[in-house]
Structure 1
Amino acid sequence: MTILFKVFLCLILIFCCSSLVNCTEFEVGGHDGWIVPKSKDDDQMYNQWASNNRFKVNDTLLFKYKKDSVMEVIEEEYEKCKSSHPLFFSNNGDTVFKFNQAGLFFFISGVSGHCDRGQKMIIKVLDIEATPPPQSANDTAQKPHKSGAAEMTPMRTITTLAIFVLSTLCFILV
């Protein structure tokens, strides 16, 4: 193989791997997770959390909860806080939901009464490839975890490390 071909192959490999890093995993509710709001005044806490973040296709939500569930539903079911046929359902306590398209997504708790008490959320997923973070790294460091800022997840860290190792190997081989 020629050196030019090896360089070209390495660049394609790096480009393909780096596209995996463009997604973000958001932990719904921060440290508290997916819970029933503590007071009536907090009944919009998840929608406020969602409005502080910018979601795009391929981003994921991580719902952490105990003795609960999460459902993706249509808007009518969101308004009624009931669904007999959700678009998505999980009750494993550690649910990951991936956005596969742009648009509005409606989530409610599947436990009777929880949605009525504010455990529900609307997320708008933008129709763009990549977006700048909603705040700078300095802003995130100064705010508490509950601010809704996305955190670097282990999967993103591993992907970033893999890209670095692959790019280093490619240029050593060339």
Structure 2
Amino acid sequence: MAFSLFTNSCKVLLLLALLSSFNFLAVVCVEFQVGGDKGWVIPPSKNSHLYNDWASKNRFKVDDTLRFEYKKDSVLVVTQEEYEKCRSSHPMFFSNNGNTVYKLDQPGLFYFISGVAGHCERGLKMIIKVLELESPSQSANQTTNSTSSQKSGALPMAGATYSLTSMMIFTSLLGALFA
């Protein structure tokens, strides 16, 4: 009986040690409301850089999404050259449904313009820089800044994705301990 009690205590201590040494990587995807409560509209003439200013205050990662809300307009993803010229005959993405959600699927620069004549020239355009995937320590640092992202129109999505490899290793060790 004493041996059995000692063995169970050792298992519990070993389990606690394993739990404290694991770094679970949690990647939280965020949905950004483009332009905050104003949406995707022609900016006032005095602030033609409204959307790039908004974008520069946010931190975008792979798998985050952008929600564009608008009336009688459109959203196009274009090349840098087409962005600078404010026109595109062959956009990489087009939507005009008034409530467009666009997933940022890779790191790098994304160029968005309005497809309505004259709107891009009046400032309805934006460049988004999507960052490379982060390490667990960078991800933990970013979590502390989540309230500032929410103030700028960022909404955490419902789920979080956990590192599958870490979960599988942990589950295997747990099974071996209590088998």
**Residue 90 of structure 1 aligns to which amino acid in structure 2?**
S
Alignment of 1:79-118 (within 5 A): 79-118=84-123
Percent of pairs with identical residues:
56
**Residue 44 of structure 1 aligns to which amino acid in structure 2?**
H
TM-score (norm 1): 0.69
Shift of 1:151: 2.3
The number of aligned residues is 138
Give the aligned partner of residue 127 of structure 1: 132
Shift of 1:41: 1.6
Give the aligned partner of residue 63 of structure 2: 58
TM-score (norm 2): 0.67
Q: Which runs of 4+ in 1 moved over 3 A?
A: 133-136
8 Å contact 2:33–2:154 — kept in the other structure?
yes
Cα separation, 2, equivalents of 1:83 and 1:125: 22
Cα separation, 2, equivalents of 1:78 and 1:151: 27
Check 1:62–1:79 CA distance in 2 against 1; reply closer, same or farther (3 A cut).
Answer: same
Q: Deviations over 1:116-152 (max 9, x none)?
A: 0000000000012474158453x578xxx5xx24123
SS state at 2:155 partner: coil
Larger strand percent: 2
Q: Which runs of 5+ in 2 are unaligned?
A: 1-24, 161-177
Alignment of 1:33 with 2:33, yes or no, is no
Cα separation, 2, equivalents of 1:133 and 1:120: 29
Report which of the two structures shows the higher radius of gyration computed on alpha carbons: 2
Check 1:67–1:95 CA distance in 2 against 1; reply closer, same or farther (3 A cut).
Answer: same
Cα separation, 2, equivalents of 1:35 and 1:61: 15
Check 1:140–1:50 CA distance in 2 against 1; reply closer, same or farther (3 A cut).
Answer: closer
**Residue 78 of structure 1 aligns to which amino acid in structure 2?**
Y
Q: Which runs of 5+ in 1 are unaligned?
A: 1-17, 161-173
Give the aligned partner of residue 7 of structure 2: none
Check 1:109–1:140 CA distance in 2 against 1; reply closer, same or farther (3 A cut).
Answer: closer
